[in-house]
A and B are shown apart, each in its own frame.
Chain A
Amino acid sequence: MTPSVETRTSVVWDYAPAPESAEHIRLRGRYGLFLDGDFRAPADGRYVPTLNPATEEPIAEVAWAGPADVTAAIERARAAFPAWAALPALERGKYLFRIARLIQERARELAVVETLDGGKPLRESRDVDIPLAAAHFFHYAGWADKLGYGVAAREVAPLGVVGQIVPWNFPLLMAAWKLAPALACGNVAILKPAETTPLTALLLAEICAEAELPAGVVAILPGDGGAGATLVRAPGVDKIAFTGSTAVGRDIQTALAGQDVPLTLELGGKSANIVFEDAALDQAVEGIVNGIFFNQGHVCCAGSRLLIQESVRDEVIAKLWRRMGRLRVGDPLDKNTDVGAINSAEQLARIETLVAAGEEEGALRRTVACELPERGYWFAPTLFTDVSPAHRIAAEEIFGPVVSVLTFRTQAEAIEKANNSRYGLAAGIWTDKGAKAFEVASALRAGVVWQNTYNHFDPTAAFGGYKESGFGREGGPAGLRPYLRVLR
């Protein structure tokens, strides 16, 4: 680790450890595939341990789906589709309401498991991931019998069997974003959770069973990229929805070329967080921290390009660096932890590679000099200044707790620099001038724009990208459209 340019301001007081108890969670030693309404052994008998990235210790063994399992899931889904689609819409909605309620009931357990399996701070899984997942099911449950109102009064029908692939950064929440609208629209779904974070999706499988969701309506098939690739290419899948990297999204779009399989992609980003000189700077600094250090920066819409107006550059950086020194990095289960573990060794290596590239290309690196646990995957919060738009750390998605600072003089320059990206997922604007905020928001080529806040999500608000950040939306009535066929 490179020594920091400034030493950390000493903390005035220390915190006693405040770990959340993991005693009440009910994890099995081994999970099968959730297929046809129950956990079943994979055809080739392959089980892989899932690790706690904060300790590198195994938590449970999880079955990985092979091609035969994908085929079986598609067959069972196809068999379940007619009855599910024919169910009175209100009844279909009731199942989703049940799932929402069960998520709420098991919220604390889900939060602990999410944190164990993925490394994110408990404060986030408890206050953000799990409540939003329940809210998403609740929202789309209510849409099930109102679909005609959601798509501009057109006559609609479900697509059939949808294949859904979700990432490891918000495992349960992304599963909710995928399953809730698909099921509300009358589709049946095959969900592949991410390789490193299958557990909460498997708990969701238990919840589906507990809700008495008809067998075959939801299958949950853990596995690696190979299982995802099989699902994408399998005959009998009527729609693919993917959240993940732009590189994999491109592969999927290519694989579906010439086929009549609708696709939605929610991909990477390099989102600009723009601080104007008239912003409330202390509030902005909190927003910058939330924008990039939330979930260790494992956020597709993370505010990873910080654009600061030159007149306040030094002041904002000084405040930000001071604030970064007070971030608590460590045990994700500790209720005071701000920054948890990096999700996997692979992701840690990617962060280290890009950070090294930043240093080689001449940007100035500062990394908080905090103590990191000996075991597990960790990366201390890092700030790059003197970054040029041509640097890799200004253009490529790092997906870690690393922020790159660029500056601008005028509003026009801020807009131009913010839009100078192959991505277009999100952006932040910090200003106290309302008219300016609205003007800049409309000029940014990004799917979500936050003024004086960042990383806010809601099941009623559409989320999704412009340009190479993907296409299609999740959330609100726009989130129904990818799961429906318009009949006229």
Chain B
Amino acid sequence: MTRRLAVRKTYKLWIGGAFVRSESGRYDEADGVNFPRASRKDVRDAVAAARGAAAPWAARTPYNRGQILYRAAEALESRADSMRAPRDEVDACVDVLLHYAGWTDKLQPVLGGVNPVAAPFLSFSLPEPTGVVGVVAPDAPALLGLIAELAPTLAAGNVAVAIVSESEPLVGLDLAEVLGVSDVPGGVVNLLSGRRAELATALGAHRDLNAIVDAGADAELSAELDRLAAETIKRVRHGDAATSYDAAVGDALERMEAVTELKTAWHPVGA
């Protein structure tokens, strides 16, 4: 009997909803598998794709965004055994997605409200997404560390360009296949693998990026990201790699506030 030859997966970046090779043609190798080493140009392509997806994603109802995040939790649960991560880490990831799925329509009542102004106006302040967020994921835990940054970013209505774990990139790239079957619109999440320092600085310097969420745990890179961010007054949040469900959701509101703007509107009452 002839032995069946396995069909290997060609690992690719996920940009604008498409699985693509690095435009640079560069590859690295992990666990005996080749994966793309993204370039600065790939970062720019991903930011452009994210920008295109930002307004439609923000315009969806919180209810709809919540259902999509819940769908991602379902899709991850169903693939739990085939993910390149320990089962308990995958379980935590599913729960984190579920937790933030429930946040989408809570953020406004928690952070917003009607302002009792001393004048005849209906004045209210509401949270809005900051826009395009660059995510620097930690090396480990590769999947939970990534999802702990992505989920609050998306729940708050933002879109993301994420740099997955440098040492264990495959599970981060596999996440594209989970999100890709979860009605996450193309461009809302973009996943890049490669050298963190190269890609993160390209993200930090991009003028059309609104915020950076950095869990890369590299003090030198963090300071460099701060300096790059200042050029266009980007919002920056540095955090530790989330190593448990509790760590990923315990400061949920801080995570979402970091990528949220508050808009105050004044509408006249009476003449």
Contacts and interface: CB of A to CB of B under 8 A. Distances in A.
Q: Contact size class for B? A: 35 or more
A257 B262 contact: no
A467 interface: yes
B233 A468 contact: yes
Interface in A243-257: 246, 249-251, 253-254, 256-257
Interface string A216-259: 00000000000000000000000000000010011101101110
Contacts of B82: none
Q: Contact size class for A? A: 35 or more
Contact of B226 (A258, A462, A469): A258
B223 A461 contact: no
Contacts of B223: 257-258
B266 interface: yes
A181 interface: no
A152 B110 contact: yes
A463 B117 CA distance: 13
A458 B119 contact: yes
Given A250-B233, A265-B233, A451 B262 contact: no
A253 B261 CA distance: 18
Interface string B227-241: 101111101000000
B118 A254 contact: no
A204 interface: no
B226 A257 contact: yes
A398 B210 CA distance: 25
Interface string B124-158: 01000010000000000000000000000000000
B257 interface: yes
A476 B125 contact: yes
Nearest to A257: B226
A448 B264 contact: yes
A116 to B, nearest CB: 28
Nearest to A441: B265
Interface string B165-203: 000000000000000000000000000000000000000
A46 interface: no
A456 B266 CA distance: 8
B116 interface: yes
Interface stretch (B15-23, B65-73, B89-97, B247-255): B247-255
A330 interface: no
A71 interface: no
B267 interface: yes
A154 B253 contact: yes
A344 interface: no
B121 A246 contact: no
A335 B2 CA distance: 99
B210 to A, nearest CB: 7
A251 B233 CA distance: 10
Contacts of A478: 111, 125, 262
A462 B262 contact: yes
Nearest to A422: B232
Contact of B229 (A253, A464, A481): A253
A486 interface: yes
B125 A152 contact: no
A3 to B, nearest CB: 39
Contacts of B250: 488
B104 interface: no
Given A456-B119, A466-B261, A471-B233, A254 B227 contact: yes
A135 interface: yes
Interface string A65-92: 0000000000000000000000000000
Contacts of A470: 233
A451 B268 contact: yes
Contacts of B130: 466
Given A466-B263, A469-B233, A481-B257, 14 more contacts: A250-B233, A258-B222, A441-B267, A446-B263, A450-B265, A458-B119, A460-B117, A461-B117, A462-B262, A467-B233, A471-B235, A473-B262, A478-B125, A488-B251
